Amino acid sequence: MSAETAPAEAFDAVDVIRAKRDRHELTDPQIDWVIDAYTRGAVADEQMSALAMAILLNGMTHRETARWTTAMIASGERLDFSSLRSSSGGPRPTADKHSTGGVGDKITLPLAPLVAVFGVAVPQLSGRGLGHTGGTLDKLESIPGWRASLTNAEMMAQLNDVGAVVCAAGAGLAPADKKLYALRDVTGTVEAIPLIASSIMSKKIAEGTGALVLDVKVGSGAFMKDEESARELAQTMVALGQDAGVHTVALLTDMGTPLGLTAGNAIEVEESLEVLAGGGPEDVVGLTVRLAEEMLEGAGVQGDPAAALRDGRAMDVWRHMIAAQGGDPDAPLPVAKESDTVYAPADGVLVGLDALSVGVAAWRLGAGRARKEDAVQAGAGVRLHAKPGAVVRAGEPLMTLLTDTPERFSRAREALEGAVTIAPEGSRPAQRLILDRIA
């Protein structure tokens, strides 16, 4: 259609940009139009970039953020789980969890099957890693045969049969967010809290879950480095969820130190299997159980998640979940071809292990990607031998670096410079995994 015959737009993008630049509230019609027009291509990338920067600098009211989220949802389809049935024949409750991302955060892997043990359907739409934060789909793709992409019909069938699914979000779910997310990533506007909140919540609300638990990470390895910003983001997302009729709570959790003893892909699956077998690192088990309790409460279901890990019920669901997506739960996981050991520099108590440094090291070893199209190494990553609180001796292994390409070791070691803090014996690191609950 030529410019002469194209229908007139309801607004001018420049006027919308100026309004937010000059600290005015955007009206509901302006917001609806700009999201729709950007999705259609009637608003150019450079115009949306300017608007995103104005939002970053001047913020949005709750009404604006809520309307922005609603407009993002309206850009695509909404899933409906009302046809899911429980064992008694009644409607099956649904619950989901979203993490803002961190280092060693493999919680989704044991959590989804654990919650499904109690008859709650868990439609876990997950993503891939970018930079130092790992991606759930990258971890699961290290399992031979497992596939991330499912049709809506396949996802519904698996939820009915198994009770849990972890897969990629379909292209029809909030397409405006997919386009805007890529733009924010290259224009320095990722940190805008209204845009972060609407990005996460538009997909989660469109997904159609009845209850949602948000794991908002705080610390060096997290997106939000300080508790104040993380709290603001959590409060904004909880309010958006509640406005949409989704039972939503958030936990602020520490990401100053990596979760568990692994950061990578296959090695995080291996650690998740230890948790599902009733073992695993205390922090991973503790957070998995707490999130499961929150999801069950939101779904109105009672149960003992810790017992379901110990007695093997969660492992049974895991095996069915992996097999249903083409994976072989008994197949050996990929192992890196090369390894390099980092040793403790002194005697004492390990009181600091910087999550960002470990995450960047794992990324440089090949476990993560710099661009969305980059491939990852299934076996690459960092295996930790001590966590804060442990007594260490000079020359003892602190961590093992893993990769198929040994030329990566030097840059990974550079990332770890200053990552370890050792204090005299008797010192106690400040450790608090769950900082607060917001509901």
Active-site choice (20, 128, 132, 184): 184
Q: Note if 184 is an active site residue.
A: yes
Active-site choice (203, 231, 290, 408): 203
Active-site choice (32, 177, 283, 354): 177
Active-site choice (126, 198, 199, 202): 199
CA pair distance 401, 339, nearest whole angstrom: 5
Q: Note if 319 is an active site residue.
A: no
Q: Note if 203 is an active site residue.
A: yes
Q: Note if 106 is an active site residue.
A: no
Cα–Cα–Cα angle for 222, 223, 229, rounded to 5 degrees: 105
The per-residue b/e assignment along 6-40, b for 16 or more CB within 10 angstroms, e otherwise, is: eeeeebebeebbebbbeeeebeeebbbbbbbbbbe
Are residues 375 and 327 in contact, defined by beta-carbon separation less than 8 angstroms?
no
Active-site choice (20, 98, 132, 231): 98
Taking the CA atoms of 190, 194, 198 and 201 in sequence, report the sign of the dihedral they define: positive
Q: Note if 98 is an active site residue.
A: yes
Q: How far apart are the first and last CA of the chain?
A: 49
CA 381 to chain CA centroid, Å, is 18
User: Which H or E element spans position 351?
Assistant: strand 348-353
Taking the CA atoms of 150, 152, 154 and 159 in sequence, report the sign of the dihedral they define: positive
Question: Residue 338: what are its φ and ψ, rounded to 5°?
Answer: -125, 150
CA pair distance 299, 232, nearest whole angstrom: 25
CA distances from 187 to 53, 129, 245, 277, 369 (A): 8, 19, 33, 44, 19
State the catalytic residues. Answer: 98, 177, 184, 199, 203
